[in-house]
Amino acid sequence: MSAFPPNWLPIPRRLLACLLLVVTIGLPLAQPAHAAPRCFPGVPGISACIDGPIGAFWQTQGGLPVFGYPLEPTHQVGAATVQTFERARLEYHPENRPPYTVLLGRLGADALTARSEPLATPEKPRAGCRYFSATSLNVCGSFLKAYSRHGLDLGRPGITPEENLALFGLPLTPPREERLSDGKTYTVQWFERARFEDHGAQRVLFGLLGREAVAATPVPTLEPGGFVQAQGDQVVRLGRPVPIKGVNYYPQGRPWAEMWQQWDAPQMERELRAARDQLGINAVRVLLPYDLSTDGTNAGVVNARIINRLRQLTQIAGDLDLRLIVTLFDFDETFPAPGTKDETADFVNLRQLIGNFVGDDRNLAWDLHNEPDHYDLWAKQGQAQRVLMWLGRMADEVHRLAPNHLVTVGMGQYQNLYAPGPDGRRVIDYSDLVSIHIYNAADAARQLAEVRAQTGKPILLEEFGWPTGPPCAVRGYTEAQQAQVYQTILEAARGRVVGVMAWTLRDFDPRLTYRWATREEFYGLVRPDGSLKPAAAQFQAWPGEPLPSTTRIPTTLTGEGVNLPGGLQAPLWIGETGYYVKGEFRHAYEVYNGRYNFGPPISEPFVRAEDGRVVQYFTAAVLAYYPEAADNLDWGTLSPEEQLQQLIQPLDSGAQALAQRGIAPVRTEVDDEFAHLYRALGGRWRFGTALSPKLVEQQGTAMVRVQYFQNGSLVTNPVTGAVEPGGLGTAAWTHQCAAVQ
């Protein structure tokens, strides 16, 4: 099958020559799963990396010899994501169907067009050459050898003429003498997507058309400075409307308060720089807890450490041409009444904090609170009016303190944006920028339309997204579903909002922390290994441009208090399967010879969706964590082993296995052959009641003896005959994963 779309050939030569100026060719895309970005740190002058569909195409379709090094990060040109290399320009078009998802730019044709060159004089076919009737030109000699030696893989055996054509395109000139950028004259021949150069002893080389195109393209300069302001239903900078394209951000491994308590500004700079280069962001939202102590004793305290850390983050944003949205009072649920001592403390907090940034054009907006309508005072205690009164009074104070900065409120439910407070004002009345959070993709267009009907102010989609895990925990928590949610919500937002901010930039990655895996850990566009999820392509297509600022307050980027977990509950990596055991799971794993007793872990510990229970799967057992056991009145009278057995309890993998086999459980005694190991590995705590007599079953090609218990099984090894725990944890995990597919 031709590499061209089916409606290309045949067409008249002169019509083709015109079409060649605007059409590009697409090739099949093979994308390695979970591939990390590839960078070239040892190559002088090359700072860009390759990633995503373009990176996968580069690596599978020719790599360095064909395309050269990347000269720039990916950027948006309309709906396409574009990256220029030394010898080619690659374009990712998510709207196209395969095999036309990644297209090669026609740098050769573009360069000749820029010169206003006339069409080449038609030639007749010559012996020993390859003749292209579409342009009436020959390719001969060393140029033909080079042309035939390379091609993009279209799945054909060897390198076919169609694959040569797909890589280089049609010839546009005959061989001719040209003086190139090194000042020397060479024999060259131009093609749609390449220029062949005869370098004599070095043979034929491909011209650096990408470098020449970048050098010839004027670099657009955006005037720095200017506060982002609301004007009608738009936000403007220096009088010109600007789109906001941002992310909600926590550094990998340290979300929530840990971001500020275990401070690592160099890591934040690296991650936000990558987000700018890979995703094209121009804004970042961070949430600042009202109390950054670990014991709840410093609520509202603004000290030099907090100011310095926020100043470092502001410097990072400014250096990357990003603007910053800071959400205040995070995790605070007091919302004190007017005139109270606590309200006075809130005013002091604002003055001490915002007073350090009032003239800073790197700050885009102050967000008064994150989803205040989701806290108990509003949601459960029926005191929405108190919350609304507090929001209005805080908004007035921020407007007074920082008149050049926008004020917004990240409400959790869209309808609460226009709920009137005690003074008759609504959140949309004192918000300069109306922020909406949407996670219901199917209802996104309706919600946005309803908010638009309530206000003529600019609307920001401040949060949206979808989790991709924990793996096998919930049906639909997949990367494919996340990509679909992004597509649906962004389509609904187009033309209705001034910007979007994804929740969140990166997966939080709990593996090297004390945290359990929840859905919150998996909302990122970037995987823990740094590679982009498929939804990133949808986000990349959203328009954005740098937002350079002028404020610069030199601040040293610091890392303070960053410590990996230690002690008996720290994550323990099990190299055999690549998973971690931590917390009380690790304690039980070590006390009860877990490597033999439970088998190696085959999942991370995660929060089960149906009941909020933390569980972890091992090859021979499923363990669950019961922290509420410590609340029992007799807890202090128990031995450490008894306490551990109440905190960590095996689940009923044996009963589940019998049910799946259609075998009715029969309560019986532990068979003598299995009794010794039953007692040695934890007895009734580990295995529970025997649910079958000793059975003979086939495992692979061998027959083994097995007895099932409530929480597992014991089986004879088919090679040694020794008794050992059966692999029912693996069976339970397979069943769990199948149930949510």
Q: Which of 280, 249, 152 is nearest to 540 (CA)?
A: 280
The DSSP output letter for 402 is -
pLDDT band at 469 (very low <50, low <70, confident <90, very high): very high
- Reported as type and span, the H/E element at residue 648 is strand 648-650
* Per-residue model confidence (pLDDT) at position 4: 28
* Dihedral sign of CA atoms 501, 502, 504, 505 in order: negative
Q: What is the pLDDT of residues 170-211, one digit of tens each?
A: 999 999 999 988 889 999 999 999 999 999 877 898 899 999
Query: Which has more confidence, 226 or 299?
Result: 226
pLDDT of residue 35: 55
State the residue for tokens 């328009």. 543
Q: Read off the tokens for 304.
A: 């030099």
Concatenate the DSSP letters of all residues of 328-394 into one string: EEET----PPTTSHHHHHHHHHHHHHHTTTTT-TTEEEEEEEE-GGGSHHHHTT--HHHHHHHHHHH
Instruction: Read off the pLDDT of residues 654-710 as tens digits, 9 standing for 90 and up.
Output: 999 999 989 999 999 999 999 999 999 999 999 999 999 999 998 888 899 999 999
Please state the domain extents for the chain.
Answer: 247-527, 565-649, 652-741
Identify the CATH number of the domain defined by range 247-527. 3.20.20.80
Span 390-428, pLDDT tens digits:
999 999 999 999 999 999 999 999 999 999 999 999 999
**SS3 call for 721:** coil
> For the segment 21-32, what is each residue's pLDDT rounded down to a tens digit?
333 333 333 344
- Give pLDDT tens digits for 501-519: 999 999 999 998 999 999 9
- Mean per-residue pLDDT, 107-131: 92
b/e burial code for range 420-436 (CB count within 10 A of at least 16 → b) = ebeeebbbbbbbbbbbb
d(CA 710, CA 725) in angstroms, rounded, equals 13
Q: What phi and psi values does residue 406 have, to the nearest 5 degrees?
A: -75, 155
Which residue blocks in 221-331 are alpha helix, DSSP H? 258-261, 265-279, 304-319
> CA 619, CA 661: separation in Å to the nearest integer?
19
| CB-CB contact of 699 with 594 (8 Å) | no
Residue 126 has pLDDT above 90, yes or no: yes
Tens digits of per-residue pLDDT, 310-327?
A: 999 999 999 999 999 999
Region of 9 please: left (phi>0), alpha (psi -120 to 50) or beta: beta
